Structure 1
Amino acid sequence: MSWSAQKGRVVFVILLFGVQVVQGMETIDWGGTYAQTTICGLTGTTVEFQCSFWYPQTIDGQNTNVVKRFWFTKGSSYNTEDLSLDPEYSGRLHFDCQGDLCRLSIRELRESDAAVYKFRFVTNHGREGSYSVMPGVNLTVNDLRVQVRNYRQKTLRCVTKCHLGSSPSYNWYENGEEIQNENSQDYTPAHNSKHSYSCAVRDQHLLSPPACVVEKCNKVVYDNRNICALKGSSVDITCTYSHPYAIRTKFWFRADPSYMRINPSPPRNLQLDDRDRVEYPRESYRRSTLRIKNVMESDSAEYRFKFTTYDFEWRSSLPGTSLTVAAVQVQVMDVEVEDSYVSAQLSCHMSCSPTAPLSFCWMRNGRSAVDCSTAQMTKHHKIDLYPGDYVTCGVHGYPLTVSTPLYALKAPLIWPSDPEEILEGRPLTLTCRTDTQTSYGQHWYKKLKPSGHQAVGDGPELVFTSIRSSDSAEYFCTVGNELGNKTSQSVMIDVKYGPLHANVSAIPSSSISVGSSVSLTCSSDANPDASYIWYKDNEESPKFTGAVFNISDYRQHHGGEYRCEARNAFGSLNATLWLQVKASPLEAATIGCVTAALLLILLLVAVLMLRKKMASKHTTQCKAQPKATADSHRDHQEELVYSVVAFSKHAPTYSNVANAKRDQDDGVEYTAVGCSDSRVSRPKLQEEPDVSTLYSTVQKKRI
């Protein structure tokens, strides 16, 4: 069903198969509609409400924006209480909105949850811009139970006052163990036994309490399925049980997951493990109580009761009582950030809803801000906090329930693990420190040029296992909580390292003409900047100190290898360059002539040495020379001499020497000269190896 405060809206209500469907004709006024106006929920299950709403897009030329949405059950249309702030629903609500559709779900439904639930939204137009959608959704809560329909035939039925839809499926249990292949609403036991029976709606995980077919049967019924206990308090878990025979043993145990397995470990009596905190008070006929004192969050678990008779052991797989132990926490409902402080609307929150009403206390910086003795149900509190202030809440009469402090943060500081020079390759850790004892969300950023930043990590520390020169930059961190964020001052990380990639260059080129100007430049990547020293060849004394070595009048002696040494406090690196002298044209011609003359002299010397060697060999091999007459001697002085010399690698050398025959031929006189080690010619060997023969002929005209 829907409701509109303005005229011009028509509402249709249609009942279809027991489900009420609400439709509305939308206009431009204020309004809303619910998907269902009546809902019946089973105890322990989850229900969901849905509401869609609308409003004018503009009012007096100003756009309309929704600033708040919530559900309520108490108060009038103009004075409502947000359901999420009600401690009765703490930890059981889930609220979700998508555009103009809002949903509310309530889990672990209780009988006390039965009420009319309404939706309200608030816009930016003040009091007149708020609207409550009427008439709301009526929620009823009912149990699931086993009913004996026919005592004579012992026929059982699983019943509830809630409509479960068409053809629901059921599960049946005997003494806490599931009966296979039974899914109808009715069940007839096979015999008249002393067993108990429970039923459940399939897929809803909700069981009815066990029921007996006869007057007395074996069963255990827990008073509460779920209990929320405050940390540091004492809690009682109770149950009633029945049995047809005398009981031999009975105790409470903690239902470990292994208990539900095929071969569970035997349950263990809780009192044997912790006698100081666990006791069984007020034991009476067919009723048992488990008391746990000073409960801790680790006590959150499921607890079950077990008994045995002379021929029976109750080992039901049905759930017992689930205990949730919770501490209080300060929850921020709304916050306004001013220049020097924050104004916060706070709530003392628990993750579950306790059954008994509580009185809450508020403290600022450890001092009481509210009188706890008179602050009944002061769950909400508004307070102004300056940087460094903190607020806590607690429960009156339970000193162990004080919450973790909530701080109005100060800007954090960054501390490097090495405050001195940061060297490349070494580890470095940056710590984002706050003046609070609790940790908050911390994030790290690296500044980028010209303006910007990059996220580089989360957590209280930023760790560099081996820092690099590329990591040099400004870094800052942020911390934040429910009251806002704070940013630290930037810290410059300047990574130091020795020279890298040293190199040298010659201007104008590597081959320079005599008389020109030369500039040698040395450069390297280093932090801090490197200094430069120049050396020539293997000289120990430096030629120059500086990055640029200038030679204004380049000469021959300037050629050679030059070495530049780049050095800073963290290392050194060398680079070399070879300079070659380029001669002028006149010098090149002179050098060419001198080189040619030297080569000619060397050639003549070689020829003379060769001839001298040959003459020496000829003298040695010729043992006797024929006696020459005066005439012949005179004639021989004017004759042209031919010499034939043959060399052999392997065979003996044979030579003939004879006077030249005076033949007149073109005025040329030939003379044959030869020498031999024997006057008798030796026959030539048949298999004579190859001989290399050198023939030289010299011809001379008669004068």
Structure 2
Amino acid sequence: MHVTKPSSPSEIVEGSSVTLTCSSDANPAANYTWYKKNQPRPHGEGDIYRFTSISSEDRGIYYCKAENKHGEINSSSLFLNVQYGPRLPSVSVSPSEIVEGSSVTLTCSSDANPAANYTWYKEDEDSPTASGQIFIINDFRAEHSGSYSCEAQNNRGRSNSTFHLTVAGAWRLITVATVPVFFLAIVLVSGFLWIIKKRSSKQPPESPDTGEQMQPAGPEDGLHYASVLFSKKQRDPVYSNIGSAPPGRPERETKEEEQEETVVYAAVTFNAAASRTRGQEAAEDPAGLYSTVNEKRNL
């Protein structure tokens, strides 16, 4: 018994119709069974096996077996090379979390026969960004973020897949940089307010309004007169009222009352800014300062 090699078209395209034929010289006539390599169960029977619409899953190695009551024999193998366009590409990104300044590797893969060629595009750019199955972006920056597409193509068709790249650590880096600036601003404002408060506490309190404006000491005398108080309980007045004694009272009693009238000059202070030298000159000057003056009147 002899079996010829099954015949098939030289170029098989997915979706087309394909017919396999097996023949053998045998007496009595042989029966035929079709097998696909690595599959134990028969794939079909008869000297002709037909694929009405062959697919990529039908790609593989086939053979037929011829047998009669005198024996059996297998044919030589036939490889069915089904060609098809690229399937939807899948893209892997390494590392999965992109940090600014790092190196990013993009890999595109697609099931295609014949093998696909790959081209990389960036959103809103007409010309390709790169070509090849692997695309590497060194020193990834914010401007590299955006939508990318990987296109796989062969002589049977093309397919593309779109994905988005972004810098995962961008917001985190901005926050980390902003926090120290925020606290520095708080420290500066607090220090400025503390200085203002400190200066305000050092200013001397304003003197109460007594109805008489205190004149600043001149550059020559350096004196400061606060107020003059008169009292009738002190002795030796400088000024006294002169009048006739009321009738019925002796003149001696009137003179005794007048002797009790006194005048006092009080609360005469030196300017704190006056120097010791000025104080000495004021002491020698007969018109100098006196803290309290008591003058006894001799009547």
TM-score normalised by the chain length of structure 2? 0.55
Structure 1 pair 587–459 and aligned structure 2 pair: CA distance change class (3 A): same
Structure 1 pair 553–584 and aligned structure 2 pair: CA distance change class (3 A): farther
Say if 2:19 is the partner of 1:429: yes
Task: Tell me if structure 2 keeps the 8 A contact 1:512–1:580.
Answer: yes
Say if 2:7 is the partner of 1:415: yes
Structure 1 pair 438–567 and aligned structure 2 pair: CA distance change class (3 A): farther
Task: Tell me if structure 2 keeps the 8 A contact 1:413–1:434.
Answer: no
Unpaired stretches in structure 1, ≥5 consecutive residues: 1-408, 595-703
- The residue identity in structure 2 corresponding to 1:442 is Y
Say if 2:170 is the partner of 1:580: no
| Alpha-carbon distance between aligned partners in 2 of 1:506 and 1:428, rounded to the nearest angstrom | 40
How far 1:542 moved relative to its partner? 1.1
Secondary structure of 2:143's counterpart equals helix
Corresponding residue for residue 239 of structure 2: none
Higher strand fraction (1 or 2):
1
| Alpha-carbon distance between aligned partners in 2 of 1:592 and 1:556, rounded to the nearest angstrom | 21
Say if 2:148 is the partner of 1:562: yes
| Alpha-carbon distance between aligned partners in 1 of 2:172 and 2:66, rounded to the nearest angstrom | 77
Task: Tell me if structure 1 keeps the 8 A contact 2:6–2:22.
Answer: yes
Secondary structure of 1:527's counterpart equals coil
| Alpha-carbon distance between aligned partners in 2 of 1:567 and 1:593, rounded to the nearest angstrom | 52
| Alpha-carbon distance between aligned partners in 2 of 1:559 and 1:586, rounded to the nearest angstrom | 16
| Alpha-carbon distance between aligned partners in 1 of 2:149 and 2:111, rounded to the nearest angstrom | 17
Structure 1 pair 538–585 and aligned structure 2 pair: CA distance change class (3 A): closer
Corresponding residue for residue 520 of structure 1: 106
Corresponding residue for residue 327 of structure 1: none
Where do 1:409-488 residues align within 5 Å? 409-416=1-8, 418=9, 420-434=10-24, 439-448=29-38, 453-488=40-75
How far 1:583 moved relative to its partner? 2.4
Structure 1 pair 592–528 and aligned structure 2 pair: CA distance change class (3 A): farther
Task: Tell me if structure 2 keeps the 8 A contact 1:471–1:495.
Answer: yes
Structure 1 pair 491–508 and aligned structure 2 pair: CA distance change class (3 A): same
Structure 1 pair 557–521 and aligned structure 2 pair: CA distance change class (3 A): same
Secondary structure of 1:529's counterpart equals coil
- The residue identity in structure 2 corresponding to 1:524 is S
Corresponding residue for residue 191 of structure 2: none
- The residue identity in structure 2 corresponding to 1:542 is P
Match of 2:132 among 518, 524, 546: 546
Secondary structure of 2:98's counterpart equals strand
Task: Tell me if structure 2 keeps the 8 A contact 1:412–1:487.
Answer: no
| Alpha-carbon distance between aligned partners in 2 of 1:592 and 1:574, rounded to the nearest angstrom | 43
How far 1:589 moved relative to its partner? 5.8
How far 1:436 moved relative to its partner? 6.9
How far 1:455 moved relative to its partner? 0.8
Secondary structure of 2:57's counterpart equals helix
| Alpha-carbon distance between aligned partners in 1 of 2:173 and 2:82, rounded to the nearest angstrom | 57
Secondary structure of 1:429's counterpart equals strand
Structure 1 pair 481–585 and aligned structure 2 pair: CA distance change class (3 A): closer
Structure 1 pair 438–538 and aligned structure 2 pair: CA distance change class (3 A): farther
| Alpha-carbon distance between aligned partners in 1 of 2:72 and 2:172, rounded to the nearest angstrom | 79
How far 1:561 moved relative to its partner? 0.8
| Alpha-carbon distance between aligned partners in 1 of 2:34 and 2:111, rounded to the nearest angstrom | 28
| Alpha-carbon distance between aligned partners in 2 of 1:547 and 1:472, rounded to the nearest angstrom | 24
Task: Tell me if structure 1 keeps the 8 A contact 2:101–2:141.
Answer: yes
Q: Deviations over 1:562-591 (max 9, x none)?
A: 110011111111111111133276644667
Higher helix fraction (1 or 2):
2
Structure 1 vs Structure 2: percent identity of aligned residues? Answer: 43
| Alpha-carbon distance between aligned partners in 2 of 1:438 and 1:465, rounded to the nearest angstrom | 31
- The residue identity in structure 1 corresponding to 2:5 is L
- The residue identity in structure 1 corresponding to 2:21 is T
| Alpha-carbon distance between aligned partners in 2 of 1:536 and 1:592, rounded to the nearest angstrom | 34
- The residue identity in structure 1 corresponding to 2:16 is R
Q: Deviations over 1:103-147 (max 9, x none)?
A: xxxxxxxxxxxxxxxxxxxxxxxxxxxxxxxxxxxxxxxxxxxxx
| Alpha-carbon distance between aligned partners in 2 of 1:593 and 1:532, rounded to the nearest angstrom | 46
| Alpha-carbon distance between aligned partners in 1 of 2:72 and 2:50, rounded to the nearest angstrom | 22
Q: Deviations over 1:338-396 (max 9, x none)?
A: xxxxxxxxxxxxxxxxxxxxxxxxxxxxxxxxxxxxxxxxxxxxxxxxxxxxxxxxxxx
RMSD: 2.8
- The residue identity in structure 2 corresponding to 1:535 is Y
Structure 1 runs, 4 residues or longer, greater than 4 Å off: 435-439, 584-594
Secondary structure of 1:504's counterpart equals strand
Secondary structure of 1:470's counterpart equals helix
| Alpha-carbon distance between aligned partners in 2 of 1:480 and 1:584, rounded to the nearest angstrom | 74
Task: Tell me if structure 2 keeps the 8 A contact 1:513–1:584.
Answer: no
Structure 1 pair 591–422 and aligned structure 2 pair: CA distance change class (3 A): farther
TM-score normalised by the chain length of structure 1? 0.24
